[in-house]
């Protein structure tokens, strides 16, 4: 079977320049291809930094990160962009139209593909309600759409891009529980079984993940399925209770 986005962290330590303590400490884990891995942990734990390391926004001081066996430090920008895509915690839109923003994922996408991505991202209804639909103008920063709409457009943009690995940084917490559930139910088919990593606040978003990583103060303190962690991790139990 072809590799579909296996990510491996081996002994990864990263700290911001000038900071006394690293924000990711000796992290080792495998994200299995075609599976969903969730990352959960309190605010400031290092979840966003973990994703940013995969995208090489910064390089670790120690350890290696590989995608399908290749160190990310040896991939070109284009190879990395083909392999892995992120819906950032604070999504951004560019000046243009809804369509041009979605096509930032892949310029050759057809209108049909844009609508399909919007359907999965639960953004179809609000785009249809716009006078110009896909051609509705969007201002830089996306101030003409609500935060939740911006988030859905950002999700749709990544679906249009079709990377091997999808990263969602807290992309579902602004959605109501029912919309969150509909979106996640539609995701596997839309991503065609690609590797998915979901950073989440709500436990209900991740209970069905193949693997959950619990992160606290930059360290992986628990890993397993929801049921395994309920039985084994005090930190996870606390998150579930809160
Ligand atoms: P994050 O990785 O941003 O923490 P998080 O994503 O787990 O938190 P949240 O749930 O609120 O999104 O930060 C980890 C640590 O790194 C934290 O101490 C802040 C610090 N940090 C910086 O100093 N500069 C940065 O650019 C980022 C992203 C984080
Ligand atoms: Mg974060």
ipTM of the shown complex: 0.98
53 within ligand 1 shell (Cβ under 6 A): no
- Which residues have their alpha-adjacent CB atom under 5 A from ion ligand 2? 47-48, 89
Per-residue pLDDT of the chain (242 residues; tens, 9 = 90+): 455 899 999 999 999 999 999 999 999 999 999 999 999 999 999 999 999 999 999 999 999 999 999 999 999 998 998 899 999 999 999 999 999 999 998 999 999 999 999 999 999 999 999 999 999 999 877 677 888 899 999 999 999 999 999 999 999 888 888 998 899 899 988 998 899 999 998 888 899 999 999 999 999 999 999 999 999 999 999 999 98
Q: What are the distances in angstroms from CA 51 to CA 59, 107, 108, 123?
A: 12, 25, 27, 25
99 within ligand 1 shell (Cβ under 6 A): no
Task: Find the distance separating the first CA and the last CA of the chain, reported in whole Å.
Answer: 41
Spatial distance between the Cα atoms of 215 and 221, rounded to a whole number of angstroms: 6
Pocket test for ligand 1, best of 15, 44, 88, 217 (most atoms within 8 A of CB): 44
Atom of ligand 1 nearest to the CA of 170: 12
Nearest-CA residue for atom 28 of ligand 1? 49
Nearest in space to 166 (alpha carbons), one of 40, 38, 14: 38
Q: Dig out the tokens for 198 from the structure.
A: 């979901």
pLDDT of residue 105: 83
Degrees, nearest 5: CA angle 24-207-47: 15
Pocket test for ligand 1, best of 20, 45, 57 (most atoms within 8 A of CB): 45
Q: Where are the beta strands (DSSP E) in the chain?
A: 7-14, 24-31, 36-40, 62-67, 70-71, 84-87, 96-97, 137-138, 165-169, 195-199, 211-216, 219-224
Domains in the chain and their CATH numbers? Answer: 7-241 (3.40.50.300)
Question: In which region does residue 46 sit, left (phi positive, over 0), alpha (psi from -120 to 50) or beta (all else)?
Answer: left
Spatial distance between the Cα atoms of 128 and 136, rounded to a whole number of angstroms: 10
Spatial distance between the Cα atoms of 151 and 132, rounded to a whole number of angstroms: 20
107 within ligand 1 shell (Cβ under 6 A): no
Nearest-CA residue for atom 26 of ligand 1? 49
Non-local CB neighbours of 150 within 8 Å, separated by 6+ positions: 91, 92, 93, 142
Nearest-CA residue for atom 27 of ligand 1? 49
48 within ligand 1 shell (Cβ under 6 A): yes
> Cβ-count burial of 148 within 10 angstroms (0-12 exposed, 13-18 middle, 19+ buried)?
middle
CA 237 to chain centre: 24
């Amino acid at each position: 079977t072809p590799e579909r986005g296996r990510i491996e962290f081996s002994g990864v330590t990263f700290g911001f320049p000038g900071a006394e303590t690293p924000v990711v400490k000796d992290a080792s884990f495998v994200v299995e291809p075609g599976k969903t891995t969730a990352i959960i942990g309190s605010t400031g734990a290092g979840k966003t930094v973990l994703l940013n390391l995969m995208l090489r926004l910064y390089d670790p001081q120690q350890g290696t990160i590989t995608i399908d066996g290749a160190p990310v430090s040896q991939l070109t920008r284009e190879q990395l962009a083909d392999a892995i895509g992120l819906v950032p915690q604070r999504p951004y839109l560019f000046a243009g139209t809804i369509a041009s923003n979605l096509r930032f994922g892949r310029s050759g996408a057809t209108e049909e593909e844009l609508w399909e991505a919007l359907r999965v991202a639960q953004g179809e209804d609000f785009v249809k309600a716009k006078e110009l639909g896909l051609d509705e103008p969007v201002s830089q920063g996306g101030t003409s759409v609500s935060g939740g709409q911006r988030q859905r457009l950002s999700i749709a943009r990544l679906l249009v891009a079709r990377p091997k690995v999808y990263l969602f940084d807290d992309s579902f917490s602004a959605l109501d529980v029912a919309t969150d559930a509909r979106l996640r139910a539609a995701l596997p088919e839309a991503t065609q079984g690609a590797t998915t990593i979901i950073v989440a606040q709500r436990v209900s978003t991740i209970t069905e993940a193949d693997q959950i990583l619990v992160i606290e103060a930059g360290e992986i303190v628990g890993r397993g399925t929801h049921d395994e962690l309920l039985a084994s991790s005090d930190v996870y139990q606390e998150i579930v209770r809160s």
